[in-house]
Structure 1
Amino acid sequence: MPHRRILSLWFPRLGVDRLIRAEPHLLGKPLAVIRDEGQAQILSSLSPEAAKLGLHLRQPLRDAYAMCGDLITRPQSERQEAAFLGVLHRWAGKFSPWVAASPPDGLVIDLTGCAHLFGGEVALAEQVALDCADLGLTVRLGIADTLGAAWALARFTAQDTQAHRSGDAIDQEARATRSRAGKRRHWTRGGAAPHISTGPALQERIAPIGKSWQVLSPLPIAALRLEPQMVEQLNRLGLRRVGDLMGQPRAGLARRFGRGLVDKLDQALGSAPEPISPAPPPERFSVRMSFPEPIGLEADVVAGLERMLEQLCAKLKTKGRGARVLRIEAHRCDGLMEWQMVSAAVASTSPHRLMPLLKMKLPGIEAGPGIDMLRLEAVGHDPLHDRRMAGHKAAAERGKQRKDQGAALEDLLGRLGARIGMEAITRRHPSSSHIPEKCATTLAAAWSEPARDWPSPPTPRPLLLWPPDAVTAPDHPDLPKGFQWRGRRFVTTGASGPERIAPEWWLDEPAWRSGVRDYWQVDTDHGDRLWLFYAHGGALSSGWFCQGSFA
């Protein structure tokens, strides 16, 4: 059985590297990513140019501006950085299927039994450095028998941290040309050749098998992944290197600093297990099509999308998924990309139901000098379950008719949602409450089922309902013969009721602090049919109120 080997990757400039890939004009400029910490803003990531000016991590932004007036800053987006780390998780799968994220800026790869496929650990480390240089990333790596030792080698050994390119930025080359020249390294197109450390410098990052203690001994105490307060306490006692801890009695360390210090030391040396729990990368369903010559007609785009949609639906069907949100990307010859999002009412794998929605979004795509690549991705997808109808012929026909009617409604919701947005289409659903204003709730039509059985209230409810409005009438439970409301005088010509409604005692509703209500349907001499109630009083005073109007 091969010996366990762990590769730890650390991206110390993940924030600025992601921004430079998205905005290539920031390359070579002092750039910093800032985040809020309490009432201050501090630096969370720095470009090499900013670091050369003396700036450092966790430095207050006001001090950084005092040292560098030309500093360019961008706010930190933890969500986008986590998504970028997820993309790197997929890339790292080429080296081993056992990959785990080490948030916020690292990856851990179990290389057991995989290094020989790349010519050994040194060749694999060189390939990792080369790939990261092509991606425009600054990386530090370490290989050891344990996760703790690999983590320490990646972060506490002297390594070159300079990134040598801006990512996937190409100014003049068209995407169709790039697809034929994808294997060429970026320095063959005019960039600077990346510096890849080899030989002794790389050997320092790779611990010999079974000798993790040898490479850990000269490293500082912080390499054991300890809390800063504990590191400070150990340094105060003269324990500054990992080797200083190895000769100390374990019982005394555990008694003074807790069991956590001894556990971290044992995990780094391999005396205690520390498994790696890999997270499988999320399923992605996408199809792209490159053209030998740029296209610009809508009919050509439709023809390409029809072929791509069939392939995408086939992929989704094999995994038992259905597309709910589709993203169309049109990559133009001038390096720009036009995109549109399409949302369906329900997840589907039927091209004839999804294609009309895609066609509605095509007018929003500007072809410009021409489109040389189309990409279609199912951004949102849900599981689908096959349904089989059983029963006699009449029941089966009724079920098919209901299914067809439901599909027609779903297609209508999809077309309306493509025009005005899915969130703008709502439907009413009954709720489990006897309070008039809470007897129904509003739900998004695309993410809810139609109400099958709507319970009937004890008495008819008004067509218009508003918050209770005070009525001038005698403060008595008996229905008045006349009352004044909104500056008008009304005479009661007919009435039905009362219907007593009590507040929900388990909830504190401010509007129902007036106690039990007696509702009346009142006909007036002006032809209005109003919904009045008498509040018997509670935390608030009693009286008459108007809450609705019948048709």
Structure 2
Amino acid sequence: MDWIALSPSLADERQAWGWRALQVTPRVAWVDEALLLEVSASERLFGGRQALLRFLVEETPLSKVSWARGRTALVALASLRLQARGIERPKNVDGLPLDVLTAATEHLPTLERIGCRTWGDLRSLPRGGLARRFGSALLDALDAGYAERPERYAWITLPESFDMNLELVSLATTAPELMWSAQRLLTQLQVWLQARHRGVLALELEWTLDLRRLNGKRLPSHERLPVRTAEPTQDITHLRRLVNEHLGRAQLAAPANHLRLRSLETQPWHGDSRGFLPEDNRQGEKLHQFIERLSARLGPQNVVVPMAHADWRPERMQQWAPARDSEAQTATQADALYPPWLLPQPLALEVRNDKPHFGGPLERLTRLYRVETGWWENGEPALRDYFVARSQEAGLLWIYRERPVSLAADLEHTQKFRWFLQGLYA
């Protein structure tokens, strides 16, 4: 057997360290002030004892932790306590002092009076007399420490969802002041996501208001701020940026004293998608992450993308939607013939000698693209012939001629057509 005892430096990270340990072994338990892990079956999986310790203690987003090893859980715990005192652990278990054995703490004065100060001294005493004088719990702990008795603990398990509350160091009067505490909670969220093998899609920040009334107006007890991502993620850097942007736009109704973070929606995590070629694995922020962060900063209504709708009229086909919406990001693209930019309203063109003009006569480059639609709506249907034309001053243009219903079947009277400019090409 091989046990590791951990002592987190921050009290509010105790639960997160338990989740972190579960990535190494399912046999994890809190015993007194330390987190105990049985890792003998996991060392081979991680490539040896040193690699396992490096992953557990060094390659972690959590704060630093003190640790010690032992053949049994109680020996590891005893070694950790000696380490905290700056005392070197004896090579033999018999030399461990009794005050590092929890079961012996309440009996230390009596044991010291009879000259019993180490585990070896205690083990050399008659077992029957020890059991009658001090109870069976002391003997059971001693046997477990020497690996002569199975060690049974209440193993910790992962919760189904993330939900943590943190007391603020000082009252926060503005939303950005919550960011320091939010970062600590997001770090623990990442540990939970990694342990559960899930990516977060939606989370919620909730802060507790310190006042119940302000200027005679009753206040709610809590305020909430939801945060969503387009794709499941474990990227703590992106989540920090996104939460920071949302908090930068939020306002507190009153000073806050507690901050809570909980997961609203998660999905199974399949890892980051990477290609075989170096150019496919570009460094930096992904496009959807940039869109989410920019939408949080400027507002979703100010970061939009065109969406193609089922209508042959370009002004109705091209509509705008918030770029961070999943539907907008997967929208069907329009025909490549249509221009990327439409005018707010079609511009009537001057016609000279049956030719439309826009900074000079326009040269039609394509055959007509006829659109006859809207007959089911009130009013006249849209009867149009579209062309791609070239202007000497403006470049490529998207123009059309409008055919009144009375001339829909008469293509000879071209002088009666009206011409319009509707779109521009880059």
TM-score (norm 1): 0.36
Q: Which has the higher strand share?
A: 2
Larger of the two Rg values belongs to structure: 2
Higher RCO (C-alpha 8 Å, min separation 6): 2
TM-score (norm 2): 0.44
